[in-house]
A and B are shown apart, each in its own frame.
Chain A
Amino acid sequence: MNFETIIGLEVHAQLLTKSKMFCRCSADYASAPPNTRVCPVCLGMPGVLPVINQKAVEYAIMTALALNCTISDYTKFDRKNYPYPDLMKGYQISQYDAPIGHHGWLIIEVNGEKKKVDITRVHLEEDVAKLVHCAPPGGESYSLVDVNRAGVPLMEIVGEPGLRSPEEARQYLIKLRSILQYLGVSTGNMEEGSFRCDANISIRPENSPDSLAKVEVKNMNSFKAVYLAMEYEAKRQRKVVAEGKRLVQETRGWVEEKGETVSQRSKEYAHDYRYFPEPDLPPLVLNREWVEEIGAKLPELPEARRHRFVAEYKLPLYDANLLTSSILTADYFEACMTRPPQSLSPKKHAKPVANWIIGEFSRLLNATNTEINESKVSPVALFDLVQLISEGSISGTSAKLVFEEMFKTGRSPGDIVSERGLSQISDTEEIEKDVIAVIKSNNQAVADYKAGKAPALKFLVGQVMRATKGRANPKVVNELLKQKLEEK
């Protein structure tokens, strides 16, 4: 029997508000020593009360609008009850049946095909404290609680189970993250935990409406992990069924080192969260005008920017796609484009700049695990490098060396070129000496050329380049060689 894979993703994104969800503590929890960004409210002390962070509501509305959601006129907060030492009040303030936004969708592209994925809801809640588990060798293990993170605004985006493959899941996450980044509401950093993903995955016989047991997968800390975990789970579930066994509804954790999922708890032990309306917060009635105002101020989203890049910079769709998938890359590209002096058209170098960003630059960024905005290469410097190449001041070969140096040291391409004597020689007289010398010392090749063997010219060009340490303009070398050989 053939099975279809059914995947739905739940994403938790920390919001980039200055203060926490329900108190005035700084939400920048990671940069401070443990338990220093706390107050009675986020510590869950007796008698304290939550107050809603308006900016967080605004960010959730922005996100919901960008995801084509309907914004609720009436929304409210609820208490989600469960005991755990990282949960200061013994309940999490979340939203149960009246989320900020609902019934949205986003478009993903897989293998060149567009697909609409439905979004169930966008709601707000608060993050929990961080537990640090310690197990000293020979001693008793213990856990420490860092409350800095408790109360940081979290936005949960629940997707419908509309994804059909691990690749679709990956594309969904990439798209969703890029939207959050474009909106400026979250860093979307998965490794740091500011963008978290849980997955629900099941399989169902093709053409059947009923899925088999649904499995929730947790502990995936990168897009790659989500992809691999989904791939593993889809295979595992098929195997269980093929072996004639029954699939059980359960929660499984992704174990990165082993590359497999492991059962954590079955349905019988599922929590009963006993949701009920948060009595400390009156229902929130979202003013239509405010929502419209937020909608009118939404920044340009990836889709629109991609099309603008094609139209404005005459870039191929492929390049525009790659450049705009991350707001950082897109911003970097546009910063390069502001460099040209008035006399130069910005479009002139758009394609070569894009080539550098997509190619060599990306390669080095990946290799060093650096974000483009944290790189030492300024947009100005990259543009100048492209300009040097286009003027013929340096050769392509040299440019690569220069860029590596720029990437390492952050120095300007002009400085590197002059210091290392890499400027390209286009001066005919200077090159002529080397050309004559090469012709003299390579009789065989000269003879071959005259006999009509074309590759011989290439060989001779190579010899001249070598003699000039790669600095000669290959075009000039080519022409000079031909000219001299004809003369003979």
Chain B
Amino acid sequence: MIINQLTIHEAHRLLKAKELSSVELTKACLERICQVEPKVRALVTVTNELALSQARKADELMATGNTNPLTGIPVVIKDNMCTKGIPTTCSSRMLENFVPPYDAMVVEKLNGCGVVVAGKANMDEFAMGSSTEHSALFTTHNPWDLSRVPGGSSGGSAVAVAAGEAVYALGSDTGGSIRQPAGFCSVTGLKPTYGRVSRYGLVAFASSLDQIGPLTQDVTDCALVLNVIAGYDARDSTSVPYPTPDYTQCLTTDLNRLRIGVPKEYFVEGMQAEVEIAIKAAIRKLEELGATIDYEVSLPHTPYALAAYYIIAPSEASANLARYDGVKYGFSYSDADSMWEAMEKTRQYGFGAEVKRRIMLGTYALSAGYYDAWYLKAQKVRTLIRREFDQAFDKFDALVTPTSPTVPFKIGEKIDDPLQMYLSDVCTLPINIAGLPAISIPAGFADGLPIGMQIIGKPFSEETILNIAHAYQQATDWHKRRPDV
């Protein structure tokens, strides 16, 4: 038994049986962090002492029997979720020294279960990017091939799970930021329906698209984490007051009566052949498991999703990031002659190039005289895409696509070509545009590099996609393979 490679459900069973203590589990993860962190660089902050003290408390809690499956299990949290007293940098110079005086709702919920926080995960600055190369602090490396990117923006979270630094992680997904790195690192990553998980305390990138979700070693773990973090929060007016089911109840291997569509627009030009082959094979596996597959589904507005996304997300970001002016917290340029100069230089030096690019794109799209042509048009496209998904879901219970058109690319390969970088999210962006739930699960390898399959569901049908993903994992072992790092 390699302790740090246990899943949540395995570790929970051992903790309950007193065959393992949270302190032992936590130490195993912290040792693993010491061992691999110099190679993968997944974590911005490692919270050694906090983790051990939380582990000791968790062991006491375990003794009372009043526990949750997450009690005492080490987690890594993406560094854009506020953690009281622990730096929350968003991997930006702007917030490098920012220590929030409050917890994000999801962090509050995890803490309520007595979890162990092992650290904060690296990301593309303010979640803008697909490779973690846009982290202002350092780049994270893919444990399957250290010369390649782990995906992004939740790259640090995905790597921490893949490399066994923590049992699971939280990420956030605005255009694929959980699913794409999950696919690139061969872990399970879920983006819940918009409104399913409270965004309170998640540093906003694009408010109408952002959603927090788990990155785990398998679907069962994913359901266990979702059980804790899902639910209405009065502090987030966009969270939805639907009851939260027990997501483990849907984890059957029975896919009979399920209708799955394969939208052809997601097998895009320029797609890597091995990815297409692997996904088609995975779909056949779903068919073997009892699902009815339709390979001829068309979602004709798909090609416009990327353009709409790169207007809506930067527009919202341009406002969301306006608060970083050096007046209240975070980086502040002090050697200025005037207030305006101080505010301008704070932003000039505090933000990286990709963040500035998006602020400028968004500011332009919202400007007088351009609003109708850009922002408003993009919102109309958004409505069309939503409607198209709604219609598809009249016929299907879920849609299946590749998570990304390629396997992980080389570090530095796309960093100077924003458009190529943006295209790595072409299969995941439309899901955020429509606010749907989607999960990425390991579906094979090409030359030792991971391939992810995306399963998309109707709004608030997380149970359906978890069921499909679980059935697939019961029939395959891709998710059990570990990188040799």
Chain A residues in the interface with B (C-beta under 8 A) = 40, 43-52, 79, 81, 83, 85, 88-91, 143, 145, 272, 274-276, 279-282
Contact = CB atoms under 8 A, between A and B. Distances in A.
B235 interface: yes
B366 A47 contact: no
Given A272-B367, A274-B367, A279-B207, A48 B237 contact: no
A51 B207 contact: no
A81 B366 contact: yes
Contact of B95 (A46, A81, A274): A46
A81 to B, nearest CB: 6
B319 interface: yes
Contact of A85 (B199, B200, B325): B325
B100 A45 contact: yes
A275 B365 CA distance: 11
B2 interface: no
B368 A51 contact: no
28 contacts: A40-B101, A43-B328, A45-B100, A45-B102, A45-B329, A46-B204, A47-B88, A47-B199, A48-B200, A49-B199, A50-B237, A81-B318, A85-B325, A85-B343, A90-B323, A90-B324, A91-B322, A272-B367, A274-B318, A274-B367, A275-B366, A276-B375, A279-B206, A279-B207, A279-B238, A280-B237, A281-B237, A282-B237
A433 B101 CA distance: 86
A276 B235 contact: no
B419 interface: no
Contact-size category for B: 35 or more
Given A51-B235, A90-B319, A280-B207, A44 B328 contact: yes
Contacts of B201: 47-48
A276 B234 CA distance: 24
Nearest to A40: B102
A89 B236 CA distance: 17
A46 B363 contact: no
Contacts of A81: 318-319, 322, 366
Contacts of B80: 47
B237 A276 contact: no
A47 B322 CA distance: 13
Q: Is the interface of B mostly helix, strand, loop or mixed?
A: loop
Given A145-B327, A281-B237, A46 B368 contact: no
A46 B90 contact: yes
B316 interface: yes
A368 to B, nearest CB: 41
Contacts of B206: 279
Contacts of A279: 206-208, 238, 316
A83 B324 CA distance: 10
A407 B318 CA distance: 59
B466 to A, nearest CB: 26
B88 A46 contact: yes
Nearest to B239: A49
Interface string B341-353: 0010000000000
Contact of A143 (B101, B207, B329, B339): B339
A85 B327 contact: yes
A46 B97 CA distance: 13
A145 B329 CA distance: 13
A47 B200 contact: yes
Contacts of A143: 339
B237 A46 contact: no
A458 B392 CA distance: 104
Nearest to A43: B328
B368 A272 contact: yes
A202 B328 CA distance: 40
B234 A51 contact: yes
Interface of B: 80-82, 88, 90, 95, 98, 100-102, 104, 199-204, 206-208, 234-238, 315-316, 318-319, 321-325, 327-329, 339, 343, 363, 366-368, 371, 375
Contacts of A50: 237
B386 to A, nearest CB: 15
A37 to B, nearest CB: 16
Nearest 5 pairs of A and B residues by beta carbon = A90-B322, A279-B207, A274-B366, A279-B208, A46-B203
Contact of A44 (B199, B207, B235, B323): B323
Contact of B237 (A49, A145, A274): A49
A46 B82 contact: yes
A274 B371 CA distance: 8
Contacts, number: 103
Contacts of A79: 319
A88 B339 contact: no
Nearest to B82: A47
Contacts of A43: 328
Contacts of A52: 237
Contacts of B325: 83, 85, 90
Nearest to B326: A85
B339 A85 contact: yes
A485 to B, nearest CB: 86
A40 B322 CA distance: 16
Contacts of B368: 272, 274
Contacts of B329: 45
B356 to A, nearest CB: 15
B323 A88 contact: yes
A274 B316 contact: no
Contacts of B322: 81, 83, 89-91
A439 B199 CA distance: 96
Interface centre among A44, A91, A279, by most chain B C-beta atoms within 10 angstroms, is A279
Nearest to B234: A51
A51 B328 CA distance: 22
A47 B368 CA distance: 28
A40 B81 CA distance: 14
A378 to B, nearest CB: 45
B199 to A, nearest CB: 7
A14 B452 CA distance: 54
A276 B367 CA distance: 10
A126 B203 CA distance: 21
A344 B26 CA distance: 85
B200 A49 contact: yes
A280 B323 contact: no
A145 B220 CA distance: 50
A275 B207 CA distance: 15
A38 to B, nearest CB: 10
A47 B100 contact: yes
Nearest to A39: B102
Contacts of A274: 318-319, 363, 366-368, 371
A47 B202 CA distance: 5
A91 B319 contact: yes
B435 to A, nearest CB: 12
A395 to B, nearest CB: 66
A276 B315 contact: yes
Interface centre among A46, A49, A143, A275, by most chain B C-beta atoms within 10 angstroms, is A46
B237 A51 contact: yes
Contacts of A44: 323, 328
Nearest to A77: B237
A85 B80 CA distance: 24
Contacts of B100: 40, 45-47
Contact of A47 (B104, B324, B343, B375): B104
A47 B82 CA distance: 7
Given A48-B200, A281-B237, A276 B319 contact: yes
A283 to B, nearest CB: 11
B204 A47 contact: yes
Contacts of A46: 82, 88, 90, 95, 98, 100, 203-204, 323
B411 to A, nearest CB: 28
A372 B327 CA distance: 43
Given A40-B100, A279-B316, 4 more contacts: A47-B82, A47-B88, A274-B363, A280-B207
B162 to A, nearest CB: 26
Contacts of B234: 51
A275 B367 CA distance: 9
A276 B365 CA distance: 11
A20 B207 CA distance: 22
